[in-house]
């Protein structure tokens, strides 16, 4: 069994980005908009900020009180769209219930949309001419490449149909000639789909849902899940994936851990998107 080490691969990606930035005659600028008190969202935004600092992206987080109106959020996004110094904008999800997520994502200028969540960028990915590929799918694809897992012709089963992982990953891997099956909560006999896959990607948000019985001997297993479960430690919780790692590693040919798997890849690939956005916008 090969452990696909997200910490190691993401360090390589960050290093590549860092070298690319050192050749530019400007500093790419990324702004994260956080409209949430959720500790997990706060942690993710902090990790993105740290990665930005490390690679040489100038980054800032704009905090908006979650009690504020949708209009207040749209005003902030509009200002960032107009700001010539801003290369990348990301609106951390989830947003408060009273804010229409689509309205917020649609408001981000497509050329600054480093998450790849604007409908134009989603459409381009579907069309096979991507501009900004969402960071998690991009990170998953990079991990498969680094682990020498052939995607062309492979049977890939994705468990989860979210707009930010499952659906764009299906488009991305289809563009790379995989045969992709997308499963979800209404799928009949999920295990039949996962068991015949060369590559299983778990992105459902249910702790340790994919067990050893659901995975073929030698398959590659990519775990996108990051779930907080109660634990008897200082924090009172621990992070586990959507895959029951200890048992699945006994049958898988290659597997990603949690933490230290897809999570750091998402952050590193966001930096790649930020540099790409800057280069496209500034035309060098």
Which residues form the catalytic set? 48, 92, 115
Query: What's the rounded Cα separation, in Å, for the pair 148 and 74?
Result: 43
Q: How far apart are the first and last CA of the chain?
A: 42
Interface map 50-89 toward ligand GUN (x if CB under 6 A): ----------------------------------------
Q: Which stretch binds ligand GUN (CB under 6 A): 55-63, 91-99, 171-179, 212-220?
A: 91-99
Nearer to ligand GUN, 9 or 169 (CB): 169
Cα 225 to Cα 63, 244, 276: the distances in Å are 26, 11, 27
Closest approach of Cβ 51 to ligand GUN, in Å?
Answer: 13
- Coil, helix or strand at residue 260: coil
Cα 71 to Cα 38, 99, 103, 139, 157: the distances in Å are 21, 9, 10, 33, 39
The residue behind tokens 């409908």 is 119
Closest approach of Cβ 43 to ligand GUN, in Å?
Answer: 11
Q: Using CB under 6 A, which residues numbered 113 to 132 contact ligand GUN?
A: 115
Closest approach of Cβ 165 to ligand GUN, in Å?
Answer: 8
Given 90, 99, 221, 278, the residue binding ligand GUN (CB under 6 A): 90
Given 76, 80, 86, 164, the residue binding ligand GUN (CB under 6 A): 164
Q: Please give the size of the binding site for ligand GUN, defined by CB under 6 A.
A: 9
Closest approach of Cβ 213 to ligand GUN, in Å?
Answer: 29
Neighbours of 233 (CB within 10 A): 8
Q: Give the β-pairing of 199-202 and 220-223.
A: parallel
Interface map 240-279 toward ligand GUN (x if CB under 6 A): --------------------------x-------------
Closest approach of Cβ 247 to ligand GUN, in Å?
Answer: 27
Q: Is residue 135 part of the contact set for ligand GUN (CB under 6 A)?
A: yes
Interface map 186-205 toward ligand GUN (x if CB under 6 A): --------------------
Cβ atoms of 29 and 283 within 8 Å: the answer is: no
Q: Is residue 92 part of the contact set for ligand GUN (CB under 6 A)?
A: yes
Cβ atoms of 31 and 78 within 8 Å: the answer is: no
Cβ atoms of 87 and 71 within 8 Å: the answer is: no
Closest approach of Cβ 195 to ligand GUN, in Å?
Answer: 28
CA 201 to chain centre: 13
Query: What's the rounded Cα separation, in Å, for the pair 210 and 206?
Result: 9
Cβ atoms of 187 and 167 within 8 Å: the answer is: no
Footprint on this chain of ligand GUN (rule: CB under 6 A)? 90-93, 115, 135-136, 164, 266
């Amino acid at each position: 069994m090969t452990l696909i080490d997200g910490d190691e691969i993401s360090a390589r990606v960050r290093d590549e980005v860092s070298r690319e930035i050192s050749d530019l005659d400007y500093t790419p600028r990324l702004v994260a908009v956080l409209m949430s008190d959720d500790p997990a969202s706060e942690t993710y935004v902090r990790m993105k900020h740290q990665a930005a600092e490390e690679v040489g992206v100038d980054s800032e987080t704009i905090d908006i009180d979650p009690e504020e109106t949708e209009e207040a959020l749209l005003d902030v996004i509009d200002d960032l769209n107009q700001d010539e110094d801003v290369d990348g904008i990301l609106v951390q999800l989830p947003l408060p219930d009273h804010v229409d997520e689509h309205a917020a994502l649609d408001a981000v200028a497509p050329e600054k949309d480093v998450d790849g969540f604007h409908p134009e960028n989603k459409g381009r990915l579907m069309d096979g001419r991507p501009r900004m590929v969402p960071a998690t799918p991009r990170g998953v694809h990079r991990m498969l490449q680094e682990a020498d897992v052939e995607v062309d012709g492979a049977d890939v089963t994705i468990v989860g149909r979210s707009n930010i992982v499952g659906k764009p990953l299906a488009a991305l891997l289809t563009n790379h000639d995989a045969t992709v099956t997308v499963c979800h909560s209404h799928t009949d006999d999920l295990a039949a789909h996962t068991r015949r896959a060369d590559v299983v990607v778990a992105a459902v948000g249910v702790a340790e849902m994919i067990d050893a019985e659901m995975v073929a001997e030698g398959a590659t297993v990519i775990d996108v899940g990051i779930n907080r479960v109660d634990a008897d430690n200082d924090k009172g919780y621990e992070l586990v994936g959507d895959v029951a790692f200890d048992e699945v590693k006994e049958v898988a040919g290659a597997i990603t851990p949690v933490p230290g798997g897809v999570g750091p890849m998402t952050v590193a690939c966001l930096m790649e998107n930020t540099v790409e956005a800057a280069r496209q916008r500034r035309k060098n």
